């Protein structure tokens, strides 16, 4: 997405940055891990395909992605590649949401051009897990989607076996909407309202948008 191609979001313990070509090799290495592919419901790509995918993340208007840096490592080393620990994504207004939320309300939302975004978070580096970094990264992404992209409703689709992510989105005040035995996924939803925005702002300790220098 061009809107986030030249910015970074600085939190208390993580920094969100755009996905650049210089990051592709490390990202591709992550996505060669069968366990990560399973948890993220992703298909394996060749390195050339991953470079092509990086271009779509940069230019497609319905995709917003940030890579996640562990702030302490980056500030100590100034090495983005070494500080990379995962990514967080938003897919905006995809028709396939209706397969998970197949009811009159979902159809009405699309007809009324409600901005809906599917939210994802992945912490790929094992040593970065269990430190609250994924929680902070997705909070920053939800805040960006709500405040800068005008998202009015967030959804998330999580595999049956990914209990950690299910617990995380429940903690983020998403509510379970449906289960698909075919895709082995649980669908969650969070409508953006004043109470949730107030809660979101209280949860985020630091939120600064700055220009991203390449």
With beta carbons less than 8 A apart as the criterion, state whether 95 and 32 touch: no
CA distance 64 to 71: 21
pLDDT in tens, 174-202: 999 999 999 899 999 999 999 999 999 99
Tell me, what's the pLDDT at 190? 97
pLDDT in tens, 48-86: 999 999 999 888 989 999 999 999 999 999 999 999 999
pTM exceeds 0.85 for this model: yes
- Report the pLDDT averaged over residues 84-113: 64
Higher-confidence residue: 188 or 105? 188
CA distance 186 to 166: 8
All structural domains of the chain: 2-211 (3.40.630.30)
3-state helix, strand, coil in the chain (%, to 5): 45, 25, 30
Count of Cβ atoms closer than 10 Å to residue 73 Cβ: 17
């Amino acid at each position: 997405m061009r809107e986030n191609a030249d910015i970074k979001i600085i939190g208390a313990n993580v920094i969100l940055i755009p996905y650049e070509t210089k990051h592709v090799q490390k990202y591709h290495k992550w996505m060669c891990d069968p366990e990560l592919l399973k948890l993220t419901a992703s298909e394996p790509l060749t390195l050339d395909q991953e470079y092509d995918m990086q271009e779509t993340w940069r230019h497609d208007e319905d995709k917003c992605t940030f890579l996640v840096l562990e702030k302490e490592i980056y500030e100590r080393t100034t090495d983005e590649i070494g500080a990379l620990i995962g990514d967080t994504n938003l897919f905006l207004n995809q028709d396939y949401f209706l397969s998970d939320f197949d009811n009159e309300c979902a159809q009405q939302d699309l007809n009324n051009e409600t901005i809906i975004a599917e939210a994802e978070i992945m912490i790929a580096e094992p040593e970065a897990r269990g430190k609250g970094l994924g929680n902070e990264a997705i909070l920053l992404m939800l805040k960006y989607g709500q405040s800068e992209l005008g998202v009015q409703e967030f959804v998330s689709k999580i595999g049956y076996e990914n209990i950690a992510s299910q617990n995380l989105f429940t903690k983020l005040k998403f509510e379970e909407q449906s289960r698909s035995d075919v895709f082995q996924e649980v669908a969650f939803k969070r409508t953006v309202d004043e109470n949730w925005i107030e809660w979101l702002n209280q949860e985020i300790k630091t939120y600064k948008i700055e220009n991203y220098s390449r």
